[in-house]
Structure 1
């Protein structure tokens, strides 16, 4: 497609204007002849013997926005791209299979990865050069994107045969790397050995002061925290069990006090850029909210500390209010970047969430009754949340100077010390902080909101179903269970094909909030089945509505039929039959979110009213055996093994909800589903 002339802004739409993905829509007016992933682009590359430039990202990705602004909106760079390459854009959240194949290549060749992912392919889709973000022009430390484009185009013209041979060798190496699940089956290691190794690895990497399991960046990793709860349940009378519980609860408290937790708008940001949980990467992802709601609910169930129940409620409030669809599902994410004011021309990371000291003072000028003369609401609020006159963000954590003079709220002082400092009673302090948060939230509502990705994914909605269902059962809140049922109904109506029994990957918000599908719907991947099935089991346990259990068993059967490899003892990540995928991968460690791969066979190892006899499926042991042989050096990634307690860890059968300090069950369970089967 021809691009606009240099004399006027390039506003002519390219093919991406017809796509439903918010990420692809963001690039629909680039001066680049973008194609979506599909046969039209592949045919063009073969017909014209052109290389493919593949760019993969997602709509709330900060560096994806940066590369678009610097390179993809640049008229001259756009012309170089369109002249020399068939340019393809992929939303990694729509097509995790495509992303996974080429990320495997980038990680294998560079030792790292991330988004935006930039990969150059031969016309038959074999990768030979790849990376992530490229600056537009050369610098002392980096080769610019313009130079990379020109060099690769020249190499294709001059050394085409050599590049083809290189790409074939790369493909063969990738196939070798991807042979997870092709070795001979090995016996699963003893349960206690694996649990101990996982615990020791987490204990060794634990941050004693601030919690978490790394220095920085620091991610919430709820799967690790859930594992530690399991380890405590099995070893609660031992020093190791006590340490497991201490590590998990301390981490959860430090996260909730930190800036990674949005104290004004609720919910959690993606990760912290420092070990203190202070300065976050400000995007908010649905999958984090679902998992964290579960882990905070469990923390309350174990400890009886209302603090954790309050945080779980905080997360679910954010998810319902800001990510909830009127149709019943949940949107995917909120961006990190936004305009500081309605008249701003440039977005900044965190602009929606940060505060200048003078803003806080202006919003909270009232004197505090009972405090020292002259003490205002602002004084107390700023003391508690660490607000400083010149900002509380270290320049080392603000390389682009977007947060200069701003404050990221963090519970800097304990409530007891703050109350004592100002001569207040604890109840007075709580009221002051609550009023301060209310006023700041009202002021923040007047700011331009970050971009909302209104794509709705089956897998992430499944995680949110679990979050609401488990919180509803533990906190005894029927409204949470009802919200989980509403989301499950949404998935059934909009993301499931009754005829084939298959899930769909995604749907989208259209005009007037009407739910729409793309012209060529994308069928679900393994993660979609895993998380929807788990959500349905959690919803069944919270509601005892047998229809959710029946549907979960039906989906489990479909999952086994579509993804299980009986020869390789593992599940494929995607269905068979897509000729555009170079590799059909199996993934034992599974992505940045959740316990995928480990909630799979729950229906086969848990007695239920729909089964005429109790049976133990061999699939959990088969999958464990294969995973053990493939991942002997990273047992911490196996922490999802707690899901196998019913068959592989028989001692878990003794760990009942009723033994925990704060059981929360909505009513008596049928005799064939007892609390010992699901805690």
Structure 2
């Protein structure tokens, strides 16, 4: 290594490489690092973050690039850097520890741990210098280093006590989960926390939380409660109008620091884009409103332009910062807009998007004006057009022309960093999103990209013996997969099958499901461990049930089991899913709102479900039947459309498989496994689906 390099220089993670030239003597997570900590009897300073995290950048520039800070850290600790996206197992364990120790968590997550990896203290952002009662990192390093020398036995006992609490936090009492009261309790809590003015839930900060909205649409489907659908539409309306939406280039920022969706943290996460596309798709299915199909198309354009790899797969995230300044790429001065658009169009655009000469963007920490503007709308463009006396089409065309000019100008700026890791689980989300988006828009480009992404991931992330890799960068896969990778990819393949009806995708979903059961399933207490049975590195094997920024792998996988059970006529899968749900009775009863994607699975498990099986003939009726089956929003419906291309696969589970000799299509509509008489006409099929 060169003098200005540390051990991170040999890593693939963009986040670790960002720190490869720090004077801090960083190690990647490794046996070597912990062995040295034991040999030198030093505590470990474990710093966890990700490459597009704004406060991670702030802490690096203030502290980790500073020689005095580095000297204090290197003297007192063995320092380890972890990319939370690369090693979510490590992040999950220490984040849970942080929540027990401090009642909160976030990134950067900085943990002081013993040489045997047990956490003692946890902090998020640490300033360079002490501020009042808050210790700066130099003083903190020296104080903890001295404390370890003087009271290592006490600190070790503290660590042991914390690990015991972590083990207790995993335990749950089983019970009967097949009860709609859990759905109603979750809905009531969401309704109580709904912001009727701004949409979303709670005050600030506000995250898009698409899985909340997916649950509410299932609740609407089950009970016909218009308030559930209203909460979804209001939230999406306000997100779409707000500063959290990039009105020039498309896509959505990670979260809003205020209740009104105006001031975002500017990073763009792949999972938000994918799950929001799923919400837009389901909203379009329910309402038929064109605005939602337009939102799908706009988001698709952004994703293919800025987050899709040239050789395949989607990248993880785009940074908030450029040129060391958060939001610089996305914000505008008054003068810039006038210069790009001219006086007439410039003033029209400034007024429409609430920008002004002083700037509406104030620094979050200091409250000082930056002199720049975040673009946002008070109301929809159709409403603005009506108020101005301008025709809607003419108004929209003028806005589009202005946006195009501003986009072209903005492309000349220094772009924020893109984390070009390709993660299996997040690409599974994108396969689902594109598949659902295709079904609503009919745009073949979405379906083709869903197929390309699935084929890329299935090819590049194949670890052999039915296993998956977790991450891919620079033509190289690494780190064997976690339950989230399997669960999201299986879900994506199921959704892709139900968009394309190409049997290979359902077959691969079934095979991956077998691998997930083999490697992750807890046969004693049910549910799925986060890590595979051959990995037991951090704090023992744990299960993650709570939904975070995205649903837990357990929630997704339980829903996968239920869907695959119906599609492949395998009741054993349903039994596993129901027992896994029951194993969470006590945990869910305390806080159903923290398990909303699990509530989506529970909604499916309680039923009634509709199983549609179509044996495609040569009469063209199958296509009509598929279209009819999809007309009504029914998240508890599965469709299998078997044609000759997958006959060997279908024959394994479809008792009815074999087209009629006369070439006519045969269809079976079942409700909770009880089937109506076979039909071969679209008219009769429509009646059966309507009554199912």
TM-score calculated relative to the size of structure 2: 0.87
Match for residue 349 of structure 1? Answer: 326
1:270-328 Cα offsets, whole Å, 9 max, x none, are 01111111111100000111100110011111111110111111111111110000111
Q: Match for 1:313 among 277, 294, 297?
A: 297
Q: Does 1:49 align with 2:55?
A: no
Match for residue 229 of structure 1? Answer: 217
Q: In the TM superposition, what is the alpha-carbon distance from 1:419 to its structure 2 partner?
A: 2.9
Match for residue 177 of structure 1? Answer: 169
Q: In the TM superposition, what is the alpha-carbon distance from 1:560 to its structure 2 partner?
A: 1.0
Q: In the TM superposition, what is the alpha-carbon distance from 1:599 to its structure 2 partner?
A: 3.0
Moved more, 403-412 or 108-117: 403-412
CA contact (8 A) 1:590 1:597 kept: no
Q: Does 1:621 align with 2:575?
A: no
Structure 1: which 5+ residue stretches go unaligned?
5-11, 340-346, 367-375
Q: In the aligned structure 1, how far is the partner of 2:668 from the partner of 2:94?
A: 43
Q: Which has the larger helix fraction?
A: 2
Q: In the TM superposition, what is the alpha-carbon distance from 1:575 to its structure 2 partner?
A: 1.8
Match for residue 582 of structure 1? Answer: 539
Q: Does 1:162 align with 2:154?
A: yes
Q: In the TM superposition, what is the alpha-carbon distance from 1:164 to its structure 2 partner?
A: 1.9
- Root-mean-square deviation (CA), in Å? 2.7
Moved more, 414-423 or 454-463: 414-423
Match for residue 182 of structure 2? Answer: 194
CA contact (8 A) 1:282 1:336 kept: yes
Counterpart of 2:51 in 1: which secondary structure? Answer: coil
Q: In the TM superposition, what is the alpha-carbon distance from 1:605 to its structure 2 partner?
A: 3.4
Match for residue 516 of structure 1? Answer: 476
1:548-578 Cα offsets, whole Å, 9 max, x none, are 1111111111111111112112211112344
Q: In the aligned structure 2, how far is the partner of 1:431 from the partner of 1:270?
A: 29
Q: Match for 1:501 among 466, 478, 485?
A: 466
Q: In the TM superposition, what is the alpha-carbon distance from 1:500 to its structure 2 partner?
A: 1.7
CA contact (8 A) 2:547 2:595 kept: no
Match for residue 208 of structure 2? Answer: 220
Q: Does 1:637 align with 2:594?
A: yes
Match for residue 384 of structure 1? Answer: 352
CA contact (8 A) 1:531 1:596 kept: yes
Counterpart of 1:599 in 2: which secondary structure? Answer: helix
Q: Match for 2:63 among 53, 65, 71?
A: 71
Q: Does 1:441 align with 2:441?
A: no
Q: Does 1:650 align with 2:608?
A: yes
Q: In the aligned structure 1, how far is the partner of 2:550 from the partner of 2:351?
A: 35
Q: Does 1:286 align with 2:270?
A: yes
Q: In the TM superposition, what is the alpha-carbon distance from 1:649 to its structure 2 partner?
A: 2.3
Counterpart of 1:418 in 2: which secondary structure? Answer: helix
Q: In the TM superposition, what is the alpha-carbon distance from 1:611 to its structure 2 partner?
A: 4.0
Taking the TM superposition and a 5 Å limit, the aligned residue runs for 1:352-371 are: 352-365=329-342
1:188-226 Cα offsets, whole Å, 9 max, x none, are 151x21121111111111111111111111111111111
Q: In the TM superposition, what is the alpha-carbon distance from 1:474 to its structure 2 partner?
A: 1.8
Q: In the aligned structure 2, how far is the partner of 1:217 from the partner of 1:611?
A: 43
Match for residue 487 of structure 1? Answer: 453
CA contact (8 A) 2:490 2:560 kept: no
Change (3 A) 1:613 1:507: closer
Q: In the aligned structure 1, how far is the partner of 2:296 from the partner of 2:22?
A: 41
Q: In the aligned structure 1, how far is the partner of 2:169 from the partner of 2:468?
A: 29
Q: In the aligned structure 2, how far is the partner of 1:276 from the partner of 1:675?
A: 45
Q: Match for 1:301 among 268, 282, 285?
A: 285
Change (3 A) 1:613 1:625: closer
Change (3 A) 1:157 1:523: same
Q: In the TM superposition, what is the alpha-carbon distance from 1:653 to its structure 2 partner?
A: 6.8
Moved more, 192-201 or 569-578: 569-578
Match for residue 7 of structure 1? Answer: none
Change (3 A) 1:96 1:645: same
Change (3 A) 1:672 1:204: farther
TM-score calculated relative to the size of structure 1: 0.88
1:324-359 Cα offsets, whole Å, 9 max, x none, are 0011101100000112xxxxxxx1111010111121
Q: Match for 2:385 among 419, 427, 437?
A: 419
Q: In the TM superposition, what is the alpha-carbon distance from 1:21 to its structure 2 partner?
A: 0.2
Q: In the aligned structure 2, how far is the partner of 1:676 from the partner of 1:398?
A: 53
Q: In the aligned structure 2, how far is the partner of 1:298 from the partner of 1:105?
A: 37
Q: In the TM superposition, what is the alpha-carbon distance from 1:418 to its structure 2 partner?
A: 3.2
CA contact (8 A) 1:645 1:653 kept: no
Change (3 A) 1:106 1:357: same
Counterpart of 1:390 in 2: which secondary structure? Answer: coil
Q: In the TM superposition, what is the alpha-carbon distance from 1:163 to its structure 2 partner?
A: 1.8
Q: In the aligned structure 2, how far is the partner of 1:598 from the partner of 1:166?
A: 33
Change (3 A) 1:669 1:444: farther
Moved more, 403-412 or 126-135: 403-412
Counterpart of 2:139 in 1: which secondary structure? Answer: helix
Q: In the TM superposition, what is the alpha-carbon distance from 1:604 to its structure 2 partner?
A: 4.3
1:597-645 Cα offsets, whole Å, 9 max, x none, are 2332456434689847666621221121122212322111232222344
Match for residue 369 of structure 1? Answer: none
Q: In the aligned structure 2, how far is the partner of 1:380 from the partner of 1:328?
A: 40
Change (3 A) 1:443 1:603: closer
Q: Does 1:272 align with 2:238?
A: no
Change (3 A) 1:676 1:27: farther
Q: Match for 1:463 among 410, 415, 429?
A: 429
Change (3 A) 1:43 1:579: farther
Match for residue 323 of structure 1? Answer: 307
CA contact (8 A) 2:185 2:592 kept: yes
Q: In the aligned structure 1, how far is the partner of 2:429 from the partner of 2:369?
A: 32
Match for residue 373 of structure 1? Answer: none
Q: In the aligned structure 1, how far is the partner of 2:639 from the partner of 2:357?
A: 49
Moved more, 539-548 or 77-86: 77-86
CA contact (8 A) 2:109 2:125 kept: yes
Change (3 A) 1:666 1:230: closer
Give the number of equivalent residue pairs.
635
Q: In the aligned structure 2, how far is the partner of 1:607 from the partner of 1:431?
A: 45
Counterpart of 1:571 in 2: which secondary structure? Answer: coil
CA contact (8 A) 1:645 1:651 kept: no
1:453-499 Cα offsets, whole Å, 9 max, x none, are 011110101001111111011211221011001111111121122x3
Q: In the aligned structure 1, how far is the partner of 2:220 from the partner of 2:165?
A: 42
Q: In the aligned structure 2, how far is the partner of 1:224 from the partner of 1:142?
A: 36
Match for residue 617 of structure 2? Answer: none
1:238-286 Cα offsets, whole Å, 9 max, x none, are xxx1111111111111111111111111011101111111111100000
